[in-house]
A and B are shown apart, each in its own frame.
Chain A
Amino acid sequence: MIVTEKSKDRNTLIEVQDLKQYFPVNNGLFRKKYVKAVDGVSFHIERGETLGLVGESGCGKTTAGRSILRLYEPTGGRIIYDGTDITRVDMKPYRQKMQIVFQDPYASLDPRMTVGDIIGEPIDINNLAGSKKERNDMIMEMLQRVGLNSEHANRYPHEFSGGQRQRIGIARALAVNPEFIVCDEPISALDVSIQAQIVNMFEELQEKMGLTYLFIAHDISVVKHISNRIGVMYLGRLVELAESNEIVFHSVHPYTRSLISAVPIPDPESGRKRKRIVLEGDVPSPLDPPSGCHFRTRCPYADERCKTEEPKLIRVSNGHYAACHHLDRVREN
């Protein structure tokens, strides 16, 4: 576990310490196995900051986001919100401060509710509106804030396009005036030309409302664009954490390096010049991860030590952490 430098800083909004989230899987009659979806992850997010989480499917990034919101009961570790340990407390008062925007704008909106009611529901639950008129005004304000207009309130989700639905999902999250939003792949289901609209909106809302984001996505170009810092996950563990440009241009973990080099660049010239590190094989099953370093089965630097010893996240430079036994060798290349 790393001790974050700013753990006592007033600026830290969320701190996650050694978070563990295991899911039981019944395997046969008596044997019980666990999928260690998140296995000892620690990081902090500062107020007003965007922390990006990237990784391939099954790496635990979504689970991490949901555990922080206590949508799952964490198996171990601590979640500290604004100085208070919320790992085991009643979440009701915190739901208003912590919200989530989901990936699939088609599945995350109730098809039988009008847009007004969808946005109004969190307002009702938290008793934020004194009167009907006030409730209505709040809904209108939210719609406006996400670039929709008031007449949309009486319509149903199916009448909207994917991008507009995602706006509705964002308006619902904003309705309770939260401080922190987990954005779980909020743009992956959208068309390229619409993605930029939503990304810009997230940025504008952050500026206006002072929001803090945990931005989870597999599209590294987008995460790099929106995040101040990026955490890279592999099979339930955080393998590297640093400032965005640092991750993209000066990463030291072999997995991060290959991940970044695999992102296709929309520029033929630099695409041709670039050296690609193509990884061998697939991501191992999370049910039965390799011993020691999880990445060793696909890592060109792996040796005996990686088999037996799990690498800890260590400080590489100021604010840059990586978990690898062979950082020196990787950096030589």
Chain B
Amino acid sequence: MTASGTLLILNLRIRGVNVSKTLLDIKNLRLSFFTPQGEVKALNDVSVSMQEGDVLGIVGESGSGKSVTASSIMGLVSHPGRIIGGTIEFNGHRIHEMSEKEMRNIRGKEVSMIFQDPITSLNPVYTIGNQIREVIYLHTDLNKQQAYERSVELLKLVGINEPERRLKQYPHELSGGMRQRVMIAIALACEPKLLIADEPTTALDVTIQAQIIELMMELKRKINMSIIMITHDLGIVASMCNKIVVMYAGKVVEAGTTDEIFYNPKHEYTKGLLRSIPRINSEKHEKLVPIDGTPVDMLNPPEGCPFAPRCEKCMKICLRRMPEFTQITSTHKSACWLLQKEVFEQKRREGK
């Protein structure tokens, strides 16, 4: 991209103006890991889209493909993984066609990512200041003094006290919550349009988790960015997100607004997930209803719907073919044969 083009885009980014515009559009993405044991279809026909200003939650259990989806947006899928089909469009870029060099211009600048474990994602031999400045030097023309001032400002923004002293410290001198704040500061250094948070609070205590969530939502408002929140904690998505994508075994099984997913779930997996979690706000002791069986072995996934072997309402066809999405509302869709059946029966009735 030319310098004038960059400027134009920068100028167009007027803060506070909320024009609903598609920020990210993943279409029919297929991604496989070619392991010695065979091909693992980590993502199988995944389509996800989000508007500017959305907080999108991606939920699913380990191995469902939620983290791989995130890495593919960042262009971080490495050997033996490979995108074998589909498109990823982000903010006008066609990510799936970009070279590593081109990706480097976007990473950290337009899209940033924070990870589950801040101690392994920060470099132990560099100071905090060094690691924040690295991003600033890479993507802006600020000089040494300006970059220093910007890092102090960033640390203040994420609620770290005594920023001048912290900049000289190494990651091991900070607590878990602090490290995650530093990660967020690095991610936000260039005010990205999209922040991908991959289980950012799983390693943290619940009171610290609350702080980090609060911080992310506040920053979202301040610099008007969008967030993808990847987590297995339904409580977190309920309190943060306005849209949710539910994944199972490399497939999107249901997507909708937060209220649609929580109050009108259509897929049996989503329903099962919601039944299986204890509610802290209920006084009665209600027995949990677990989802039976074990998660899918991704090396030998079942034919048809991946959830079928664990599904109570499994029918013959579920074991043979993957159902298409049924559109329930303009924002809510779910892939289940039971819904297809309903639609079919309704059509037949109307036909009579």
Interface residues of A (CB under 8 A from B): 56-57, 161, 163-164, 191-197, 199-200, 203, 218, 220-222, 224-225, 245, 248-249, 258-272, 276, 278-279, 282-283
List, in ascending order, chain A residues with CB within 8 A of B295's CB: 161, 191, 193-194
Q: Quick one: closest B residue to A192, CB to CB?
A: B232
Decide: B235 and A264 in contact? CB cutoff 8 A.
Answer: yes
Query: Which A-B residue pairs are the 4 nearest by beta carbons?
Result: A264-B235, A196-B290, A225-B278, A196-B276
List, in ascending order, chain A residues with CB within 8 A of B8's CB: none
* In the complex with contacts A195-B276, A266-B277, A225-B206 CB distance below 8 A: no
Give complex CA distance A221, B279 in Å: 6
Give complex CA distance A203, B286 in Å: 12
B175 interfacial by beta-carbon distance below 8 Å: yes
Decide: A265 and B290 in contact? CB cutoff 8 A.
Answer: no
* In the complex with contacts A192-B273, A259-B206, A262-B206, A163-B294 CB distance below 8 A: yes
Which residue of the partner chain, among A199, A245, A266, contacts B283 with CB atoms under 8 Å?
A245
Give complex CA distance A183, B274 in Å: 25
Decide: B277 and A192 in contact? CB cutoff 8 A.
Answer: yes
Decide: B294 and A161 in contact? CB cutoff 8 A.
Answer: yes
Which residue of the partner chain, among A164, A196, A225, A258, contacts B291 with CB atoms under 8 Å?
A196
B102 interfacial by beta-carbon distance below 8 Å: no
Which residue of the partner chain, among B178, B207, B276, B281, contacts A265 with CB atoms under 8 Å?
B281
Decide: B288 and A225 in contact? CB cutoff 8 A.
Answer: yes
Decide: B289 and A196 in contact? CB cutoff 8 A.
Answer: yes
Interface centre among B234, B263, B276 (most CB of A within 10 A): B276
Supply 5 further A-B pairs (C-beta < 8 A) apart from A164-B294, A264-B236, A279-B210: A224-B280, A259-B207, A262-B207, A267-B238, A272-B239
B62 interfacial by beta-carbon distance below 8 Å: yes
* In the complex with contacts A262-B209, A264-B238, A193-B290 CB distance below 8 A: yes
Interface centre among A56, A193, A259 (most CB of B within 10 A): A193
Which residue of the partner chain, among B207, B239, B276, B292, contacts A192 with CB atoms under 8 Å?
B276
Report 27 cross-chain contacts, Cβ distance below 8 Å, ordered by A residue: A56-B206, A56-B207, A191-B61, A191-B62, A191-B232, A192-B61, A192-B233, A193-B295, A194-B295, A195-B276, A218-B206, A221-B279, A224-B280, A225-B278, A225-B285, A225-B288, A263-B235, A264-B239, A265-B238, A265-B239, A268-B238, A268-B259, A271-B238, A276-B210, A276-B214, A282-B177, A283-B175
List, in ascending order, chain B residues with CB within 8 A of A283's CB: 175, 205
Decide: B262 and A268 in contact? CB cutoff 8 A.
Answer: yes
List, in ascending order, chain B residues with CB within 8 A of A196's CB: 276-277, 288-291
Interface centre among A196, A218, A248, A282 (most CB of B within 10 A): A196
List, in ascending order, chain B residues with CB within 8 A of A218's CB: 205-206
Interface residues of B in 123-182 (CB under 8 A from A): 175, 177-178
Question: Whole-angstrom distance from the CB of B87 to the nearest CB of chain A?
Answer: 30
Q: Quick one: closest B residue to A280, CB to CB?
A: B211
Interface centre among B274, B281, B287, B289 (most CB of A within 10 A): B281
Give complex CA distance A196, B276 in Å: 6
Give complex CA distance A264, B234 in Å: 8
List, in ascending order, chain A residues with CB within 8 A of B62's CB: 191
Decide: B234 and A192 in contact? CB cutoff 8 A.
Answer: yes
Q: Quick one: closest B residue to A264, CB to CB?
A: B235
User: Interface 1/0s, chain B 280-324, versus A by CB < 8 A?
Assistant: 110101011111101100000000000000000000000000000
Question: Whole-angstrom distance from the CB of A279 to the nearest CB of chain B?
Answer: 5
Decide: B235 and A200 in contact? CB cutoff 8 A.
Answer: no
Decide: B274 and A199 in contact? CB cutoff 8 A.
Answer: no
Question: Whole-angstrom distance from the CB of A296 to the nearest CB of chain B?
Answer: 15
Decide: A266 and B279 in contact? CB cutoff 8 A.
Answer: yes
List, in ascending order, chain B residues with CB within 8 A of A56's CB: 205-208
B85 interfacial by beta-carbon distance below 8 Å: no
List, in ascending order, chain A residues with CB within 8 A of B289's CB: 196
Question: Whole-angstrom distance from the CB of B276 to the nearest CB of chain A?
Answer: 4
B86 interfacial by beta-carbon distance below 8 Å: no
Decide: A265 and B209 in contact? CB cutoff 8 A.
Answer: no
Decide: B283 and A249 in contact? CB cutoff 8 A.
Answer: yes
List, in ascending order, chain B residues with CB within 8 A of A249's CB: 283
List, in ascending order, chain B residues with CB within 8 A of A193's CB: 61, 272-273, 276, 290-291, 295
Give complex CA distance A56, B61 in Å: 24
List, in ascending order, chain B residues with CB within 8 A of A265's CB: 235, 238-239, 279-281
* In the complex with contacts A56-B206, A224-B280, A268-B238, A197-B262 CB distance below 8 A: no
